[in-house]
């Protein structure tokens, strides 16, 4: 694209932009580029080098002007394209319904209202949730209201200047996130809108519905029923943080309904704030994100810490640990996932259902299959993401190691950090009745599945081209050993494998029940390596994990 063509595209974009802030941002870059300012030209080229594409269940990216950013033009095109996809695929005489939710990030409310107006403008029935709410409430509402689709405006745990557009489908999809071929068909409709129409000419309508609070009340009731407080909940002292997100109000209502004592809260992080002022990244997996919660827990003499990410679809749990810095340790997603998996297996055994199964993403601990086998349940390993996990046949429970847990698939077909928190509180309260702690439950888990350990090596990149280059190198010249563990088999999932659809994933089976998986993140500019080992004891498993971790780091270093 020549500089002149670039300026033509940029001016056409800004002419239809309804947001004065992003229009002004783009005007400044256009003026700079027209004056041959090199930095302005580069900035325009980066913004107009393509479009944000549908990835993990929709759009996600940095806020700003241009098709490579999240903004009102892009959202308008997405909302219109989604509406036209639904209209084209609807049965004769049926008017599709779309329910729309939003969290507390910058512009989430604006993007949600734009979507409601534009979807209504296409003649569909649009329902806007009554206020900012967690993602699981939107996922619940799609099924509860019998909607044909749902949109959640959120970037979940991404950096503060990001936002996103997550899409769910009702009907036969049962309120799950979109998967192929629907995602490609929606993307094609969006592209047609972007190529052929101006956003400021798209029809809008104020004839959309504001959902009644009864939708939220129904979610509260269904989630409180996941684990009503047993007697052991009395006197439980625990800490909760919302990480500046939208989880607290809904969580508090559920705790009161279920009968749990309210927590000591991290007040600095309790209420929605899209700037996320106390954390570098609003992700409880990131170093330092839970430091304020740990400090609060030390002062309160708490038994555990529970954290939600900003849209409350993820859950982090921490326990006292004298060996950990500051005396507190966050459980890994696999530890929490296996604890909840064992809970689900026992419930399923007590109330048998034909074909019941446990599921997890293929990068999560394979020990869940051991739990399933021991309790006579089916097991499914899926591609990463709950759009796949939630579709596992007969699922009664699913998880992924990135702090995502699905404990009530009969009501929510997505990860839900609030219902998972209630399930954890139920486990803790039941353990307290016999004088046990969450640490004791972890020890009992080891008796059930053996001494397993999991870890991750994650590399954040500034240049996205680095990731396909590294994946290509690993495909062209696979390693023969990692960390001294011989590679026995390599599965390249690029063209699918067994029942798994294609995915950009490399899975290495190493000696001694050791596994390494490499994949790009679906939501962040990262390359992720997932490590799983089994040992003769806890210390042996930890030692094997460190060997594998060191080897994984060397593998990346050698290929960089």
Residues serving a catalytic function are: 156
Count CB neighbours of 313 within 10 A: 32
Contact by Cβ (8 Å): 219, 282: no
> For residues 132 and 477, what is the distance between their CA atoms, to the nearest angstrom?
49
CA–CA distance, 413 with 395 (Å, rounded to integer): 10
Kindly give the residue spans of alpha helices, DSSP state H, lying in 96-160: 108-121, 135-144
Whether cis (ω within 30° of 0) applies to the bond prior to 181 is yes
Angstrom distance (rounded) from CA 498 to CA 516:
18
Q: What tokens does 237 get?
A: 């002292």
Q: Which residues contact 259 (CB under 8 A, 6 or more apart)?
A: 228, 229, 233
Please tell me the distance from the alpha carbon of residue 260 to that of residue 423, in angstroms, as a whole number: 11
Detail the DSSP E strand segments found in 50-173: 58-62, 97-102, 125-128, 149-153, 162-169
Neighbouring-strand partners of residue 303: none
Q: Which two tokens stand for residue 190?
A: 């969006």
Please enumerate in sequence order all residues whose Cβ is within 8 A of that of 102, keeping only pairs 6 or more positions apart, or say none: 108, 109, 111, 112, 129, 132, 133, 152, 153, 154
Contacts of 350 (CB under 8 A, 6+ apart): none
Query: Could you tell me which residues come within 8 angstroms of residue 192 by beta carbon, excluding any fewer than 6 positions away?
Result: 81, 84
| φ and ψ of 474, to 5 deg | -65, -30
- Taking the CA of residue 260 as centre, how many other CA atoms within 13 Å lie in the half-sphere pointing to its CB? 31
For β-strands 162-169 and 404-406, DSSP reports them as unpaired
C-beta of residue 500 within 8 angstroms of C-beta of residue 382: yes
Q: Report the C-alpha gap between 150 and 166 in whole angstroms.
A: 8
C-alpha distances out from residue 57 to 168, 179, 390, Å: 7, 7, 13
| CA–CA separation, 373 and 387 (whole Å) | 24
**Distance from the first to the final alpha carbon of the chain:** 30
């Amino acid at each position: 694209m020549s500089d002149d063509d670039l300026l033509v595209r940029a001016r056409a974009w800004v002419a239809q932009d309804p947001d004065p802030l992003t229009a002004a941002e783009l005007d400044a870059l256009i003026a700079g580029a027209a004056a041959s300012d090199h930095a302005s030209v580069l900035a325009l080229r980066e913004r107009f080098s393509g479009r944000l594409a549908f990835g993990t269940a929709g759009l996600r990216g940095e806020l700003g002007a241009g098709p490579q950013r999240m903004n009102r033009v892009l959202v308008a095109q997405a909302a219109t394209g989604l509406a036209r996809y639904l209209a084209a695929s609807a049965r004769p005489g049926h008017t599709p319904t779309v329910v729309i939710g939003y969290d507390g990030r910058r512009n989430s409310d604006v993007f949600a209202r734009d979507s409601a107006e534009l979807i209504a403008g296409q003649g569909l029935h649009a329902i806007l949730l009554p206020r900012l709410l967690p993602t699981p409430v939107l996922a619940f509402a799609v099924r509860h209201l019998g909607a044909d689709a749902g949109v959640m405006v959120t970037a979940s745990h991404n950096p503060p200047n990001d936002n996103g557009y997550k899409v769910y489908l009702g009907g036969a999809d049962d309120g799950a996130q979109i998967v192929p071929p629907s995602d490609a068909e929606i993307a094609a409709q969006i592209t047609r809108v972007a190529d052929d129409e101006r956003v400021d000419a798209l029809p809008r309508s104020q004839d959309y519905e504001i959902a009644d609070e009864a939708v939220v009340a129904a979610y509260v009731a269904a989630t409180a029923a996941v684990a009503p407080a047993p007697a052991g909940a009395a006197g439980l002292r625990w800490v909760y943080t919302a990480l500046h997100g939208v989880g607290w109000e809904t969580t508090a209502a559920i705790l009161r309904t279920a009968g749990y004592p309210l927590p000591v809260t991290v007040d600095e992080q309790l209420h929605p704030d899209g700037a996320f002022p106390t954390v570098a990244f609003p992700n409880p997996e990131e170093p330092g994100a839970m430091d304020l919660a740990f400090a609060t827990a030390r002062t309160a003499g708490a038994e555990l810490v529970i954290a939600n990410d900003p849209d409350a679809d993820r859950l982090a749990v921490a326990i006292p640990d004298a060996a950990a810095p500051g005396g507190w340790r966050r459980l890994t997603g696999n530890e929490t996932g296996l604890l909840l998996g064992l809970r689900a297996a026992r419930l399923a055994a007590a109330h048998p259902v034909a074909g019941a199964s446990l599921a997890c993403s293929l990068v999560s601990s394979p020990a869940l299959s051991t739990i399933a086998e021991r309790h006579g349940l089916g097991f499914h390993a899926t591609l990463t993401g709950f759009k796949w996990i939630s579709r596992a046949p007969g699922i009664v429970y699913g998880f992924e190691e990135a702090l995502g847990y699905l404990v009530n698939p009969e009501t929510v077909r997505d990860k839900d950090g609030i219902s998972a928190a209630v399930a954890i509180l139920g486990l803790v309260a039941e353990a307290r009745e016999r004088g046990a702690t969450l640490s004791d439950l972890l020890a009992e888990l080891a008796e059930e599945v053996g001494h397993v350990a999991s870890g991750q090596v994650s590399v954040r990149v500034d240049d996205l081209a680095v990731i396909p280059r590294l994946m290509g190198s690993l495909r062209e010249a696979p390693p023969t050993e990692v960390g001294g563990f011989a590679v026995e088999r390599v599965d390249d999932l690029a063209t699918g494998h067994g029942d798994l659809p294609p995915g950009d994933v490399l899975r290495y089976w190493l000696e001694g029940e050791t596994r390494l998986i490499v994949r790009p993140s679906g939501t962040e500019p990262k390359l992720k390596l997932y490590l799983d080992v089994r040992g003769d004891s806890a210390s042996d498993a930890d030692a094997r994990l460190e060997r594998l971790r060191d080897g994984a780091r060397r593998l990346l270093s050698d290929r960089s």
